[in-house]
Amino acid sequence: MVVGTQWGDEGKGKFTDLLARDMDMVVRYQGGHNAGHTLVVDEEVFKLQLVPSGVLYPHVTPVIGNGVVIDPTVLIDEMGRLTEAGVDCGKLRVSGNAHLIFPYHQALDVVAERHLGRNKLGTTKRGIGPAYADKAARVGLRVQDLLDPKIFREKLGVVLHEKNPMLAKVYNRLPFDLDTVAGQYLEECRPRLEPHIADTVGLLHDGLEAGQNVLFEGAQAMYLDLDHGTYPFVTSSNPVAGGACVGAGIGPRHIDRVIGVTKAYISRVGSGPFPSELTDEVGDHLVDVGREYGTNTKRRRRCGWLDTVMLRHAVRVNSLSDLAITKLDVLDALDPIRVCVAYEVDGERRTSMPYHQSEIHRAVPIYEELPGWCADLSGVGDRSELPRQAEDYLCFIEEQAGVPATLVGVGPGRDQFITFGPVP
């Protein structure tokens, strides 16, 4: 399993892609098209939102699990773009139990954010939260409902009966027409998706029983997790490792390795606390060199130093076995490099994550300073070629996290990584 240990955008796609090479299935288990994975293959850039990264390998079956929320128009568009680029999407399987995102979800996401004013969450405005809210309220429509037009229209009618007055009376927005929405989903989307709709839980277990290798690809990350993140500045699903059990339909005993993808610094898009955030020229440098703009939303990401208080907590909650450290090369020109190792909260030194949200807002980072390497790492292909300071930086992270780093990224390309240590 590959999970993010920060606020997303750690570069999970790159290592998912690398690991997918040896897999039979790659499974998405939560989130939706709020995610954006960028893969660079032979200088060609692929931007994926919903389709699992494994799609680029013809031998891999990419699976969208029941825990994902799907805007079918986005999925169809993404499959179309991949097909145009010569990538075969024929093997993609989509859970019939996954919930659908509708235009009213997106409209509600936009207006709810506007309504919150300066307390807004900074969502991706893709309708993710409203779709998961309907799932929990048991009024959502699932992918399998597309296969039964009568039921689909009935359910949609019930939902619109509630959503339309809300949109019109509370938010002063135009209502959605049942026939238009049903027509788009049943006549345009259904024929394109039907060949891909499957019992993904059965498929997964058949594969596992046959000894196949399965990779679970987390979207977003630990600190955007609905239960374990910096609530309410989180997404509406469970990106943590445990989320894969629910979102794909497997028991925890099937998971034998959990890789925590950790950027060599941290970024965050949207609102919420960020103790080690840098609002100075070093922060600007990280944004520029790290190209820290949203894959889909193009929003400028907030950047800061690596925070090992957060990392240690992520190791625990996700039972991480090892770390994949990404974008080490972005630190090439910085000297010294700082790492947040503890927080000062109300005059007290804290090395573990405060559970009280207000304390995270008040936390003042305590840094250790390490010398920079002031060298270009983008061409480094082996651990032995790393400058001593870069090696020391990585060892420091391992020591702070208490788990080994196995992979280290030194550039966006598929081959720009080194194997740092053996898999535990």
Catalytic residue ranges: 9, 37
CB 231 within 8 A of CB 224: no
Provide, rounded to whole angstroms, the least separation between the CB of residue 327 and ligand IMP. Answer: 14
* Residue from 2, 92, 128, 159 binding ligand IMP (CB under 6 A): 128
Q: How far apart are CA 187 and CA 191, in angstroms?
A: 7
Judged by beta carbon, residue 30 or residue 61, the one nearer ligand IMP is 30
Q: Does 223 bind ligand IMP (CB under 6 A)?
A: no
CB 71 within 8 A of CB 51: no
Q: Given the rule CB under 6 A, which of 125-133, 159-167, 316-324, 401-409 is the region that contacts ligand IMP?
A: 125-133
* Residue from 96, 103, 122, 421 binding ligand IMP (CB under 6 A): 122
Judged by beta carbon, residue 270 or residue 283, the one nearer ligand IMP is 270
Judged by beta carbon, residue 279 or residue 351, the one nearer ligand IMP is 279
Q: How far apart are CA 220 and CA 225, in angstroms?
A: 8
Provide, rounded to whole angstroms, the least separation between the CB of residue 232 and ligand IMP. Answer: 9
Task: Mark residues 315-344: x for contact with ligand IMP by CB under 6 A, - for none.
Answer: ------------------------------
* Residue from 3, 5, 6, 9 binding ligand IMP (CB under 6 A): 9
Q: How far apart are CA 218 and CA 318, in angstroms?
A: 11
Side chain identity, residue 133: A
β-pairing verdict for 364-370 and 337-345: antiparallel
Provide, rounded to whole angstroms, the least separation between the CB of residue 280 and ligand IMP. Answer: 22
Classify 318 as helix, strand or coil.
helix
Q: Does 67 bind ligand IMP (CB under 6 A)?
A: no
Q: Given the rule CB under 6 A, which of 134-142, 172-180, 216-224, 358-366 is the region that contacts ligand IMP?
A: 216-224
CA end-to-end span of the chain: 14
Provide, rounded to whole angstroms, the least separation between the CB of residue 196 and ligand IMP. Answer: 23
Give strand pairing partners of 13: none
Q: Which of residues 18-37 bind ligand IMP (CB under 6 A)?
A: 34-36
Provide, rounded to whole angstroms, the least separation between the CB of residue 197 and ligand IMP. Answer: 24
* Residue from 13, 52, 72, 129 binding ligand IMP (CB under 6 A): 129
- Omega before residue 424 within 30° of 0, cis: no
Q: Given the rule CB under 6 A, which of 2-10, 334-342, 364-372, 388-396 is the region that contacts ligand IMP?
A: 2-10
- Among left, alpha and beta (phi > 0; psi -120 to 50; other), residue 354 is beta
Q: Which of residues 235-294 bind ligand IMP (CB under 6 A)?
A: 235-236, 269-270
* Residue from 16, 30, 124, 400 binding ligand IMP (CB under 6 A): 124
CB 339 within 8 A of CB 370: yes
Crossing angle of helices 388-401 and 308-318, in 10° steps, is 50
Q: How far apart are CA 48 and CA 52, in angstroms?
A: 8
Judged by beta carbon, residue 50 or residue 342, the one nearer ligand IMP is 50
Provide, rounded to whole angstroms, the least separation between the CB of residue 315 and ligand IMP. Answer: 20
Q: Does 233 bind ligand IMP (CB under 6 A)?
A: yes
* Cα–Cα distances in angstroms (integers) from residue 107 to residues 104, 114, 128, 278, 300, in the given order: 5, 11, 11, 33, 23
Strand residue runs (E) in 244-300: 259-263, 266-268
Provide, rounded to whole angstroms, the least separation between the CB of residue 271 and ligand IMP. Answer: 6
Nearest residue by C-beta to ligand IMP? 270
Strand residue runs (E) in 108-181: none
Q: How far apart are CA 146 and CA 194, in angstroms?
A: 8
- Other beta carbons within 10 Å of 113: 16
Q: Does 13 bind ligand IMP (CB under 6 A)?
A: no
* Residue from 121, 178, 182, 201 binding ligand IMP (CB under 6 A): 121
CB 25 within 8 A of CB 215: yes
CB 340 within 8 A of CB 422: no
Q: Does 189 bind ligand IMP (CB under 6 A)?
A: no
Write b or e for each residue in 166-181: b if 16 or more Cβ atoms lie within 10 A of its Cβ, otherwise e.
ebeeeeebeebeeeeb
Provide, rounded to whole angstroms, the least separation between the CB of residue 65 and ligand IMP. Answer: 17
Residues in contact with ligand IMP, counted by CB under 6 A, come to a total of 21
Binding site for ligand IMP (CB under 6 A): 7-9, 34-36, 121-124, 126, 128-129, 219-220, 224, 233, 235-236, 269-270
